[in-house]
Amino acid sequence: MATRQNSTNGKPKSPRIQVVLPEIICEQLTILATNESRTVSNMAKVLIQQGINKYFEKEGKALVSEHNLNTDQFRDELEKQSVRRLKRAPQRIRYYKKSD
């Protein structure tokens, strides 16, 4: 069963599972994660989601609502984006009045 932990601020974290993988599968997972600029655990999550979706498509059953699927796709797109750091603090915007 998945375990649920609390973060340092007291909010519950997402459920966690522990999996034992053969060495070859772990290496393949690491290669896939590196190719997609993901963490290994995030890549495992994506592959598990895809496998579950394919399983239920084959069975002809819907497991996940369309809303949750769209949210997951949106989150995945955000995770794929590169992080851009600011070079300096934002500058103050000054507005000038027009003199007539």
Mind listing the pLDDT tens digit for each residue in 6-39?
778 777 778 888 999 999 999 999 999 999 999 9
* pTM of the predicted protein model: 0.54
Euclidean distance between CA atoms 34 and 26, whole angstroms: 12
Identify the residue whose tokens are 């003199």.
99
Q: What is the pLDDT of residues 72-99, one digit of tens each?
A: 777 778 777 777 777 777 777 777 777 7
